[in-house]
Amino acid sequence: FTRDAIQEFYQDPKNPAHLINHDNEYLHYQDDWYIVDYAEDDNKEGVPPFAFVYYRGANDAWIGYGGVVVYTRDAKLPESLLPRLREAAKKVNFDFDKDFALTDNTCKTMEKGEAVVLREKFAGKMAIQTEKQLQQQAVLARTAASNVVTTEVTAAERAIVDFEKEIAKDVISVEKEIVKDVVNIEKEVVKDVVNIEKAIEAEEKEIVSEIVKEEQSLLNMFKR
């Protein structure tokens, strides 16, 4: 998983201070933000603009996480907001001074040698990330190669099946031609046999006729 996430909130029609972010695919997380207190630019109270957000949420790993975030445009939390923030914390059953810690978002001046250490840490993290990315790419490449091989094998199997079908068609066609030739030969043989029988019958008739003629001639001679 990457650390990228897009959060889209929409206002609860029944409660405009309730921001809803549900039905997410990534870890199936859902967040509910409540704007407990806020101040816009150029407000009447003259305090810096801010938003006190109480949030509750759940995901596949943790159901019921929550906390408070204060948004301002200043790198350091303005002390003039503390009274408002303390009152806002009470509304969600928190003690601002005991339950929360102030963050320091100012850019500090690095001491001599710190820059080198930070660069080394950054380079190490980049190397680890690069290695992980290479591993991911290798997995993707291996999966793609496997898919290609599977596709090629499937195509080869289809080609073999098609080739076998074509051979079967050719064999059937050859068998049909052979059967036709055999039938035609048989017909020709039958014709030849019939013709031979007719010729033999004709010769037999001629022989019989000759014998009859000879017998008649002999009879005529004895009568004389």
pLDDT at residue number 79: 92
Query: 1 pLDDT exceeds 60?
Result: no
Rounded CA-CA distance 3/27 in Å is: 11
Written as one string, the DSSP assignment of 124-166 is HHHHHHHHHHHHHHHHHHHHHHHHHHHHHHHHHHHHHHHHHHH
Written as one string, the DSSP assignment of 26-42 is GGG-EEEEEEEEEE-TT
pLDDT at residue number 182: 64
pLDDT at residue number 152: 61
Query: 42 pLDDT exceeds 80?
Result: yes
Query: Rounded mean pLDDT of the chain?
Result: 80
Query: 33 pLDDT exceeds 70?
Result: yes
Query: 23 pLDDT exceeds 80?
Result: yes
Task: Give the largest Cα separation in the chain, rounded.
Answer: 175
pLDDT at residue number 123: 77
Query: 135 pLDDT exceeds 70?
Result: yes
Average pLDDT of the segment spanning 152-177:
71
Give per-residue pLDDT as tens, 165-218: 876 777 677 667 766 776 777 777 667 766 777 777 777 677 767 766 766 666
Which helix (H) or strand (E) is 54 found in, with range? strand 50-58
pLDDT at residue number 176: 75
pLDDT at residue number 122: 74
- Cβ neighbour number for residue 136 with a 10 Å cutoff: 10
pLDDT at residue number 94: 93
